[in-house]
Chains A and B, each alone.
Chain A
Amino acid sequence: MRGRGRAVFFRRIPALAGLSILALVIILSLLSPLLSTAPPEEIDLDRSLQPPSREHPFGTDPFGRDVLSRVMAGGRVSLGVGFMARTISLLIGLLLGTLAGYVGGRVDSVIMRLADITFAFPTLLLLIAIMAVVSPGVVSLFVALGVVGWAALARLVRAQVMAVRERDYVRAARASGAGHLKLITRYILPQCLSPLVVVYTLGLGMTIMAEASISFLGLGVRPPAPSWGAMISGGIAFMRTAPWLTLFPGLVLTVTVCSLNLVGDGLRDALDPRMVVGKRDLSL
């Protein structure tokens, strides 16, 4: 009993810690234009490659730009792309999942085959293949991430809809003449909310990581736009001479993903403790 109580306690602290770190990262990213000592894109070659100091806590890059300012500006890109991509996945997943679960029959099997095909690719591979053919840029990136992530959410929604569809109160509402749209929005979808929130949050960390990976491979956000993944790959050539170029952006990225996972775990414990979220459900 004592062990169990302690476990709950430990679970709560990390979730809170995650939430506060996440809030900090978001606030710093949003306020980066105000907080930065110098604009993140301003070049001053005379200051290039300075090690971390009081003036530049994360050092400077080859162009003399302040790495801290760039990391904060990069946070806007990474978090922005992550939220947009997740939202696109959510919308597609909601639409197709509800359709499949509610209509059933042939519609259901077509949608589920599409999901199977999406699942048949290792996600990162599918992403890099897509990014190789579309014109590069932030918009292509979050659309690609969003499209790739739809299938898991659709499956989740479908399962929930099918479970709820035949419940008594839904039948009662249907019998009383409620239209399909009303049935879905009023009675069915609210039931799916809490697992969706959990999967959305947990998937967010994975999406941000995927964005960084794609940009790291040079297929996502391009310099000079700041992005954590691109900053890390740009620093590799300087690993020996200026390691701060790779270490700091990676550290911030890890901390961000970590805090998102903590928040996600916390939400799961709070909203739906019996839910099991496997890696494939996040699809990334």
Chain B
Amino acid sequence: MGGESLAPPPGRRSGVGGAVIDFWRSFFLLTGCLLPACTGSGDPPLLRLALQTEPATLDPVAAVDFSSGTLSSLIHSNLVRFDAAGRIVPDLAREWSISEDGRRYRFSLFPARFANGRRVTARDVVFSFRRLLDPATVSPRWWVLEPVKSAASFHAGSPFSDDSMLALDDSTLVITLEGPTAHFLSLLSMPAAGVVCAEEVRERGADYGRRPCGSGPWKLSFWHAGEEIRLEKNSHCREINASVEGISFRILPESMTRIAEFEVGNLDILEVPGAEINHWRTAAPGLLQAEELRVVYIGLNNRKPPLDDPRVRRALNLAVDVETIIARILFGAGRRSRGPVPPALLPWPTGTDLYPYDPEEARRLLSEAGFPHGFSMEIWQRENPEAGRILESVQGYLARVGIEVKIVTREWGAFKQAVDRGTPDAFYLDWFADYPDAENFLQPLFHSSNRGGGGNRSGYANSRVDSLLEEAAAQVNAGTRTRLYQRAEELIYRDAPWIFLWFPIRYEVVSERITGYRIPLIFNGRRFLEVSFSGRSDH
């Protein structure tokens, strides 16, 4: 477990400290024998990273949280995947073609191998996809393949129809869709569409999530719950990293620990927490930063008076000084959003800032809507200290235009249940991209058919927006599609179903040991294949 590498660099241990430490060393000798044994020195070159939460599972069909998705994507490969810039690139599929009508996808596969050495065939892909859709699997992510022909009816209990996914031979696969779906390849890049090794799934059953076997560039070496997950190079993979032998993910939920471990040289990449950004801006000249594909917002209940009045919702947007909150509470780690879609995915039409900070205008709009003295409302949040800090400042701003806000905190399950039923007046939430496509920020969040658990939690409904979104989803021409989405976004922005807040900016510092790392646009675009050790390793 890298016991040796955990010691601080020699220079840091002062004389007195050393003596104190030696005292404690002998003091704890007795208890020391209760500890798990360490593996000692001579470790292969490891990339040492931190995870904030422990993954729930490494099984693609069960992974819903960030850590699970990230790690499962390193272990399994998909037909296609995202590169660091968010472009679709070959993974298992060497090349593919799409029929005229946009319904038939034909993939030819590379001769790839699973971590156990067996050749990956088109039948493995069919097996994995069928497993995802199978009602017996109870996968919360089955909808990833919903566009596939008769997938929904198979999921609902009808027999599987073989012709929707057809393995023509070992390396050729044809998938037929219900209708043209412009973002289908993006869906295929999601962790849930990872290809698993059929015989290992059968053998390991429910335990597969802890002992996965895929054809990705890394394979699971060990998983010490609550401590560390170690991946090692999958030598059977087509793309392997030349200089990194393995990746150690240590589970370190406390930001204090992560920072300290990075500072003593035990971590190679550190995501800088909000409260420390200013410190690192000066301390680490090589600070990396990237806008996340994530939108933070306060959803307003569009079906509940007085928030059903667009004037009231606009007034709320005008009353909150988002720029100042970003500067003071987030220490600059965000970009104010004008509309729900990150600009990296959909360029904003220029000149549209409908909601600058303007409490006067907010008060005027409120009077116009019949609330000259404001009203009181509840904003719900899930248990999360940062959310608390943000909502407290929003509360302060809204108080200035006469709106009295009560902050209600619930744990995730209770929060989600209430929000999906439309109980709270408003709720603080974020949405992060499953795949880098404007569709992912518009269709689930604003199409009226997705109200509630489907993602449209503010209960927004605008038939113009609905038809624009439907038109765009079936549109194969990229330029037309972009224009349709821009029009939809503009309508949404005007209707103000949310208090639009920001797109977070992620800051990372990288140790001097490694080169070639960049923050990917989307979380599963990170595969650590370009990373290498510079000569300055302290090993």
Contact = CB atoms under 8 A, between A and B. Distances in A.
Interface of A: 41-43, 45-46, 48, 62-64, 132, 136, 218, 222-224, 233-234, 236-242
Contact of A237 (B275, B324, B392): B275
B329 A62 contact: yes
A224 B395 contact: yes
A239 B257 CA distance: 12
B275 A238 contact: yes
26 contacts: A43-B392, A43-B396, A43-B397, A45-B325, A45-B327, A45-B328, A48-B329, A62-B329, A62-B389, A64-B328, A132-B411, A222-B409, A223-B388, A223-B392, A223-B407, A224-B392, A224-B395, A224-B407, A233-B385, A234-B385, A237-B255, A237-B275, A240-B276, A241-B278, A241-B279, A242-B275
Contact of B256 (A64, A132, A236): A236
Interface of B: 255-256, 259, 273-276, 278-279, 321, 324-325, 327-329, 383, 385, 388-389, 392-393, 395-397, 407, 409-411
B396 A63 contact: yes
Nearest to A234: B385
Contacts of A241: 275-276, 278-279
B388 A234 contact: yes
* A-B pairs with lowest CB-CB distance, top 9: A43-B396, A45-B328, A237-B275, A223-B388, A222-B409, A48-B328, A224-B392, A238-B275, A45-B324
Dominant secondary structure at the A interface: loop
Given A42-B396, A223-B392, A237 B385 contact: yes
A237 to B, nearest CB: 4
Contact of A240 (B279, B324, B396): B279
Contacts of A45: 321, 324-325, 327-329, 393
A41 to B, nearest CB: 8
Contacts of B256: 236, 239-240
Residue among B278, B329, B385, B410 facing the most chain A CB atoms (10 A cut-off): B385
Contact of B389 (A46, A63, A132, A136): A63
A114 to B, nearest CB: 29
B357 to A, nearest CB: 12
Contacts of B328: 45-46, 48, 62-64
Contacts of B329: 45, 48, 62-63
A237 B279 contact: no
Residue among B329, B396, B411 facing the most chain A CB atoms (10 A cut-off): B396
Contacts of B255: 237
Given A237-B275, A241-B276, 15 more contacts: A43-B393, A45-B325, A45-B329, A46-B328, A62-B329, A63-B392, A64-B328, A222-B407, A223-B407, A224-B388, A224-B392, A224-B395, A224-B407, A237-B385, A239-B256
A237 B273 contact: yes
A278 B395 CA distance: 46
Contacts of B321: 45
A223 B255 CA distance: 21
Contacts of B278: 241
Contacts of B274: 237
B405 to A, nearest CB: 10
Contacts of A46: 328
Contacts of A136: 409-410
Contacts of B407: 222-224
Nearest to A47: B328
Contacts of B393: 43, 45, 63
A234 B392 CA distance: 13
B276 A218 contact: no
Nearest to B274: A237
A132 B383 CA distance: 12
Contacts of B325: 45
B326 to A, nearest CB: 10
Contacts of B396: 41-43, 63
Nearest to A238: B275
A224 B256 CA distance: 24
Contacts of A64: 328
B384 to A, nearest CB: 9
Contacts of A242: 275
